A and B are shown apart, each in its own frame.
Chain A
Amino acid sequence: MKIAIQGANMTIIDAILNDFFWRALLGGLGVALIAGPLGCFVVWRRMAYFGDTLAHSALLGIALSFLISVPLNLGVITTSVILAIALMLFSRNKTLATDTLLGILAHSALAIGLVALSFMPNVRIDLTGLLFGDLLAMNRNDLLWIYGGAALILTLLTVLWRGLLMSTIHEELARVEGVPVERLRLLLMLMFALVIAVAMKMVGVLLITALLIIPAATARRLASTPEQMAAMAVVFGFIAVAGGLSMSWHLDTPAGPSVVVTAFVTFLVVYGGAGRLSTRRSA
């Protein structure tokens, strides 16, 4: 009996995992789970452009992965991590403004990636899929990456939450109170690198930042503590993924952009609605 139930469960899970739509939904929800809280830090620390830069470098990571034949996810994570560390080192030298530096690195990484790919004529890759996402092509291996990454990131965020939040609120105060600010910044960047690597398949390198920022910004309108904002960002992320996939299914639109469009519509609705309800929450 027990075996039968287990068998039945297995069949249901198998059925779900065998269906591309359900795989896409599961993967999308997994990404939203980590994009919510991490997106809050992107918004709080004004790192939107930084996220873009890491995302653009992902394409370079893919090219390099093909070049030295390593798994794509690994190549992307490694490139993002190297770029994140390079950025940290460069930004200590204050000759160039951070946004200038990010602009240089973001577009150079993207361009070098595209050029490098053109030198590999035997490699057939779906460039549109890389740039704008190919959510419906998500396989079981991708799901493994997403949920493994999600487990790791959520654990890290829970453990490091107070320190991360303190160093976001007031870096010097945090430092005086013994928070290892630099180490946390590096860890946060590594988490960004990881989330970009796993989310790339879903929305593509050009739209990843949207998935980080829009749900977090939407949540800001309704939240009164940082924790509420992170939780609400997850919920808005879920709504964007579920809504976007339905839209893609019914209207035959590309999945990644549909997710971002849904997130944007939610943002407009929340800001419009909340604006009508109360005008006092101006901060």
Chain B
Amino acid sequence: MSDALVAIENLTVRFGDRPVVDRVNLSLYRGDIITIIGPNGAGKTTLIKAILGIQAATSGRIIRKKNLVIGYVPQHLSLESTLPLSVRRFMLLSGRPLAECESALVRTGVSHLLDASVHHLSGGEQQRLLLARALARKPDLLVLDEPAQGVDINGQAALYDLIRQLRDELNCGVIMISHDLHLVMAATDKVICLNQHVCCSGYPADISHDPAFIETFGRPVAEALAVYHHHHNHSHDLHGNVVDSDHSSPAISHGGSHEDSHTGCQHDHH
């Protein structure tokens, strides 16, 4: 476990009395791509903020590798219109020399925008700029919060493709939040379905059969992703509590396993 880029042990984050992230365990290694999916308010952003070190944990531990360089791609760059900023100046603020900034822009395909104002970029261009900014830091770990937001459908596929390529080139770990289930399912190595706790986790092929996944996203989504075929390994009572669980291992490395700490699950079961 010592070579994990980030190891999360029993992480809980509470806002007031409400647990937003509930007893999450997760390890991330070089070469991993982990995608966090989940409904609104599931704690996805809070979880990655905890990984980034900008959200304090209520309990549990986050162990980062020593001298870990994180490249963060935020959801968007909501730049104040009063602040004039060119792409060049924004890239240079990373503290890296211009040559490295330029090659990062080339890599994400927006080098022609070097002298453009950041205010005039389209959604897709802005995402690629943010990705280049993260890239210029030569990260060990790339953290992306809905990287394909505001990007058209062709651009989305290309962007996820690019993220995969970058993972191969940098040999870094990648963790991202995504709502683009169809693309994520096709493209990512591991998926975590978060609903405060880890609802289910594993490889896309397995997870689309997981009852917890189907409960969270609805049968149509699951059916669209895979031929619906499963038998229940646990049920929920009227309060959403698990009444019968097979308590399989919660570790992410076990494909398709079902998180055993399931008491906070809000989705109803049909």
Interface residues of A (CB under 8 A from B): 43-46, 162, 165-166, 168-170, 172-173, 175-177, 217, 220, 223-226, 228-229, 283
The reply to whether B86 and A44 contact each other, CB–CB distance below 8 Å, is no
**Also in contact, A283 and B81, with CB within 8 A (given A169-B90, A226-B89):** yes
The reply to whether A176 and B94 contact each other, CB–CB distance below 8 Å, is no
B106-121: which have CB < 8 Å to A?
117, 119-120
The reply to whether B84 and A229 contact each other, CB–CB distance below 8 Å, is yes
Interface of A is mostly: helix
Closest Cβ of chain B to A13, distance in Å, is: 38
The reply to whether A226 and B83 contact each other, CB–CB distance below 8 Å, is yes
Q: Which residues of A lie under 8 Å from residue B72 when comparing CB positions?
A: 172-173, 176-177
The reply to whether A176 and B93 contact each other, CB–CB distance below 8 Å, is no
The reply to whether B54 and A283 contact each other, CB–CB distance below 8 Å, is no
Other than the given A176-B143, A283-B119, 7 more pairs (CB < 8 A) read: A44-B80, A172-B49, A173-B133, A225-B84, A226-B89, A228-B84, A283-B120
Assess whether B70 is interfacial by the CB under 8 Å rule.
yes
A46's nearest neighbour on chain B, judged by CB, is: B80
Q: Which residues of B lie under 8 Å from residue A177 when comparing CB positions?
A: 72, 94-95, 137
Interface of B is mostly: loop
B119's nearest neighbour on chain A, judged by CB, is: A283
B65-90: which have CB < 8 Å to A?
70, 72, 74, 77, 79-86, 89-90
Q: Which residues of A lie under 8 Å from residue B181 when comparing CB positions?
A: none
B145's nearest neighbour on chain A, judged by CB, is: A172
**Also in contact, A220 and B82, with CB within 8 A (given A165-B93, A225-B89, A283-B117):** yes
8 pairs, A vs B, C-beta closer than 8 Å: A168-B80, A169-B93, A173-B74, A176-B53, A176-B54, A225-B86, A226-B85, A229-B83
Closest Cβ of chain A to B94, distance in Å, is: 7
Assess whether B187 is interfacial by the CB under 8 Å rule.
no
Bound Cα distance A177, B85 (Å) = 19
Bound Cα distance A225, B120 (Å) = 14
Bound Cα distance A172, B117 (Å) = 21
**Also in contact, A44 and B83, with CB within 8 A (given A177-B137, A224-B117, A226-B89):** yes
Bound Cα distance A138, B52 (Å) = 51
Q: Which residues of A lie under 8 Å from residue B85 when comparing CB positions?
A: 169, 225-226
B130's nearest neighbour on chain A, judged by CB, is: A173
Q: Mark B183-213, 1 if CB is under 8 A from A, else 0.
A: 0000000000000000000000000000000
Q: Which residues of B lie under 8 Å from residue A176 when comparing CB positions?
A: 52-54, 70, 72, 143
Closest Cβ of chain A to B22, distance in Å, is: 23
Q: Which residues of A lie under 8 Å from residue B49 when comparing CB positions?
A: 172
Closest Cβ of chain B to A185, distance in Å, is: 14
**Also in contact, A226 and B84, with CB within 8 A (given A169-B79, A283-B117):** yes
Q: Which residues of B lie under 8 Å from residue A43 when comparing CB positions?
A: 82
Bound Cα distance A224, B95 (Å) = 20
